[in-house]
């Protein structure tokens, strides 16, 4: 604000030492002028040039998926991503801030499907994969300008001109190299497992996708108790299920080997029922007559009549009772129906017991023609009422009750998921659990409890990562399968693919369908033709690959990668403990043997004034653009940093922003305005000895008024406290120290 030394005009008028301050604070006008100066003078670039050769402080940008306009929750994270790199730049570090765009995956595909009015994969294939993927590419690029504009407007310094794009050939080639490294250490395999599956999107989801916000929702559905008549005996098993649609695929019933079972009189009459003693009262009522005990060993091996005979079932072990420890008494009857096609525990028990797999469900999660009317063609969960009615008509339905439970949905299209047995490519993350836990110990988590809480628990219960997606817009899995000998060849670079295919492929788009057209001669049998398998990689694998792939490592930029791995700092919201935070740790620990980040700032979620989650359906979403246009970025920045701990849900509402502006920014502005007014009237300058601002005749510094010495002391204390707070990633403590200084300055010193 100071404009230089006092000068005299020709007329003898002395210019003021300080530029006059408008009594009214116009943050928007001030920011507009400042942004123009930053742009015209390349201030961000200059800040990097002046730090050339300084020690590196490494920041990784978690790539946002630019398939829509950014919201207030994106501002929330980006402000913290700006704060700490600025601070460490001011501390003398070189902080390169390379931007990035997450371009692949279901979010983009679903957006394009909505534009085209598509409802399923068959429409995409009729439309053409090439045309569809071109639309996906255009969709991503459409919103990037909005993101760049917002990033600039909120005052975030980020290199968007040199940003990495996960859709680029360079990025994809690095992802292929990382995949190949995992392949070479036997960390990649194809398995037949039951996985969470979206029929609408036609693809499996990974376990950590089920950890995304909104994936699990409380639903109330019918749970039913069904008779399984036991062959050669005069009683029926009472079996409970919350998924009636899986009963046509039943092949066994499971009891707990340590559970006590009893035979009871059926309240509605008919053959006696067998269930766990501990569940009799809850299921049938306390007045139910118990006829006698039945040991679990007596039930094991018994054959029964299945609830439906809609699907031909082969196998000597079909429709028998087996025992397993997974059966509990938490709810139900203590006897569990097994359908190995639709439950991973069911599949594991079935594999051990030699049970057949019955799967009358197609890849759209609909019953196929083998079931016949009225079930064929229906989404499986929509068939529940008809199946329940059929059981009632057959005299096999004992009881139907509403059951409220948390059920998984596709986090992108909201469709209820099913668990479905299918071939899927996996990363052996569970085999590396100890490595992941070891690396987590060296990470500083903010807040600290995430380390051994939400994230540590996730690692402790790690399951293999389902990597393959039966989709179109993504990094193609670089595996070619021989048509003759079925040998799989993993490709780790474009050069290797060019050599094996006998074609120069440099510059070819590595997406589908172009890469699908490339065949190679099988290196195993030497004569067969190998074709690329169809799936693409989970887009989380793309984002987890960014430390290396952003530099096209190892094909170039080896030194840049070397000095910028691992990162000193990453920051996202808490849902990324099962998203980007996890995929980063998994990919890089399995490939490089170490964590790719040292410090994590894990933010809570944005909520509205009343504590409700923001959503379009509730109508409580805040568009950041009007807030910035009317109140300014500094108002929003200060509010986000100062209105409470970032580890707790952040209430965001315009009245709160206004109040924070009034209490701090306006107070600071008015205090400075007061100072400028009277400093100019008195002709004061910082060098005046009489004011305590300079040296006396002896050359020694004048100690000045006691209040002057006190406010200087407060300034030094505030500097110390803010520095300490930001060194420990505690922005809230830093803002508290600043607010206290301005309160002292305004209410005591002035």
Residues 686 and 15: their CA atoms lie apart, in Å, by 15
- Please answer whether residues 360 and 249 qualify as being in contact, where contact means their C-beta atoms are separated by less than 8 angstroms: yes
Residues 51 and 48: their CA atoms lie apart, in Å, by 5
Is cis: bond before 153, omega within 30 of 0?
no
540 is catalytic: yes
- Please answer whether residues 249 and 359 qualify as being in contact, where contact means their C-beta atoms are separated by less than 8 angstroms: yes
Residue 434 has, within 13 A of its CA and on its CB side, a CA count of: 1
Residues 224 and 235: their CA atoms lie apart, in Å, by 19
Residues 124 and 133: their CA atoms lie apart, in Å, by 10
Q: In the numeric block, which tokens belong to residue 197?
A: 């599956």
- Please answer whether residues 221 and 215 qualify as being in contact, where contact means their C-beta atoms are separated by less than 8 angstroms: no
234 is catalytic: no
Ramachandran category for residue 354: left, alpha or beta (phi over 0 → left; psi -120 to 50 → alpha): left
Which of 82, 98, 102, 646 is catalytic? The answer is 102
Which of 244, 272, 576, 646 is catalytic? The answer is 576
616 is catalytic: yes
Angle in degrees, 0-180, between the axes of helices 624-631 and 633-642, rounded to the nearest 10: 110
Residue 437 neighbours by CB under 8 Å, 6+ apart:
456, 459, 460
- Please answer whether residues 466 and 424 qualify as being in contact, where contact means their C-beta atoms are separated by less than 8 angstroms: yes
Residue 659 has, within 13 A of its CA and on its CB side, a CA count of: 7
Question: In three state form, how does the secondary structure of 620-662 look?
Answer: CCCCHHHHHHHHCHHHHHHHHHHCCCCCCCEECCHHHHHHHHH
- Please answer whether residues 180 and 491 qualify as being in contact, where contact means their C-beta atoms are separated by less than 8 angstroms: yes
Residues 255 and 278: their CA atoms lie apart, in Å, by 13
Closest CA to 102 of 166, 169, 176: 166
Beta strands, E only, 230-385: 235-241, 252-255, 261-264, 272-276, 290-294, 320-323, 335-338
Which of 57, 63, 121, 360 is catalytic? The answer is 63
Beta strands, E only, 138-268: 159-165, 188-198, 203-204, 216-229, 235-241, 252-255, 261-264
Which of 385, 613, 623, 724 is catalytic? The answer is 613
580 is catalytic: yes
Which of 101, 540, 638, 647 is catalytic? The answer is 540
- Please answer whether residues 133 and 109 qualify as being in contact, where contact means their C-beta atoms are separated by less than 8 angstroms: no
In the chain, the N- to C-terminal Cα span, in Å, equals 19
258 is catalytic: no
Residues 624 and 66: their CA atoms lie apart, in Å, by 16
596 is catalytic: no
Residues 445 and 574: their CA atoms lie apart, in Å, by 11
594 is catalytic: no
Largest CA distance in the chain: 120
Which of 580, 638, 647, 669 is catalytic? The answer is 580
Return the active site residues: 63, 102, 540, 576, 580, 613, 616
């Amino acid at each position: 604000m100071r404009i230089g030394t006092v000068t005299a005009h020709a007329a003898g008028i002395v210019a003021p030492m300080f530029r006059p301050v408008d009594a009214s604070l116009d943050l928007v006008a001030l920011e507009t002028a400042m942004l123009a100066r930053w742009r015209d003078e390349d201030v961000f670039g200059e800040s990097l040039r002046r730090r050339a050769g300084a020690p590196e402080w490494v920041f990784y940008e978690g790539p946002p998926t630019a398939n829509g306009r950014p919201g207030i929750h994106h501002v929330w994270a980006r402000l913290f991503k700006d704060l700490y790199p600025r601070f460490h730049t001011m501390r003398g570090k070189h902080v390169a801030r390379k931007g990035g765009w997450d371009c692949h995956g279901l979010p983009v595909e679903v957006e394009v499907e909505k534009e085209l009015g598509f409802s399923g994969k068959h429409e995409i294939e009729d439309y053409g994969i090439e045309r569809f993927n071109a639309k996906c590419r255009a969709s991503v690029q459409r919103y990037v300008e909005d993101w760049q504009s917002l990033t600039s407007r909120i005052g975030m310094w980020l290199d968007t001109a040199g940003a990495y794009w996960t859709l680029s050939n360079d990025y994809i080639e690095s992802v292929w190299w990382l995949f190949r490294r995992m392949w070479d250490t036997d960390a990649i395999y194809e398995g037949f497992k039951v996985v969470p599956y979206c029929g609408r999107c036609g693809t499996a989801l990974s376990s950590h996708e089920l950890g995304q916000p909104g994936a699990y929702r409380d639903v109330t559905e019918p749970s039913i108790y069904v008779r399984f008549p036991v062959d050669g005996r005069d009683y029926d098993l009472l079996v409970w299920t919350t998924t009636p649609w899986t009963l046509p695929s039943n092949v066994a019933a499971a009891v707990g080997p340590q559970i006590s079972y009893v035979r009871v009189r059926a309240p509605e009459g008919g053959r006696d029922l067998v269930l766990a003693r501990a569940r009799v009262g809850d299921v049938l009522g306390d007045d139910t007559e118990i006829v006698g005990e039945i040991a679990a060993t007596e039930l094991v091996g018994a054959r029964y009549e299945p609830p439906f005979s809609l699907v031909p079932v082969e196998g000597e072990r079909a429709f028998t009772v087996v025992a397993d420890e997974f059966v509990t008494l938490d709810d139900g009857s203590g006897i569990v129906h097994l359908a190995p096609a639709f439950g991973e525990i069911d599949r594991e028990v079935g594999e051990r017991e030699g049970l057949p797999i019955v799967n009358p469900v197609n890849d759209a999660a609909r019953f196929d023609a083998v079931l016949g009317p009225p079930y064929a063609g229906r989404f499986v969960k929509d068939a529940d009422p008809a199946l329940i009615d059929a059981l009632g008509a057959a005299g096999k339905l004992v009881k139907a009750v509403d059951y409220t439970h948390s059920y998984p949905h596709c986090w992108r299209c909201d469709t209820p998921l099913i668990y479905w047995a299918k071939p899927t490519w996996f990363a052996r993350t569970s085999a590396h659990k100890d490595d992941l836990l070891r690396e987590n110990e060296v990470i500083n988590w903010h807040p600290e409890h995430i380390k051994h809480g939400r994230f540590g628990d996730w690692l402790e219960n790690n399951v293999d990562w389902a990597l393959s997606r039966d989709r179109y817009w993504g990094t193609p899995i670089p595996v070619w399968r021989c048509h003759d000998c079925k040998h799989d060849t993993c490709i780790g670079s474009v050069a290797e693919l060019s050599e094996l295919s006998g074609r120069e492929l440099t510059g070819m788009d590595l997406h589908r369908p172009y890469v699908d057209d490339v065949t190679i001669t099988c290196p195993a049998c030497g004569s067969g033709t190998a074709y690329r398998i169809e799936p693409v990689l989970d887009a989380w694998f793309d984002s987890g690959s960014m430390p290396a792939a952003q530099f096209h490592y190892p094909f170039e930029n080896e030194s840049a990668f070397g000095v910028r791995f691992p990162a000193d700092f990453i920051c996202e919201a808490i849902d990324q403990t099962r998203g980007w935070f996890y995929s980063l740790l998994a990919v890089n620990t399995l490939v490089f043997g170490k964590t790719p980040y040292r410090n994590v700032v894990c933010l809570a979620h944005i909520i509205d004034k009343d504590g409700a989650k923001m959503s379009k359906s509730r109508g409580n979403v805040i568009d950041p653009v009007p807030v910035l246009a009317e109140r300014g970025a500094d108002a929003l920045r200060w509010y986000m940093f100062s209105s409470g701990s970032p580890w707790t849900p952040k209430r965001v509402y315009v009245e709160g922003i206004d109040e924070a502006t009034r209490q701090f920014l306006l107070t600071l502005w008015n205090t400075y305005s007061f100072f400028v007014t009277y400093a100019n009237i008195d002709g004061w300058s910082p060098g005046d000895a009489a004011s305590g601002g300079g040296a006396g005749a002896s050359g020694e510094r004048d100690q000045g008024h006691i209040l002057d010495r006190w406010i200087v002391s407060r300034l030094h204390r505030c500097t110390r406290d803010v520095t300490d707070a930001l060194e420990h990633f505690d922005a809230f403590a830093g803002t508290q120290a600043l607010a206290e200084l301005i309160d002292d300055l305004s209410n005591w010193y002035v």
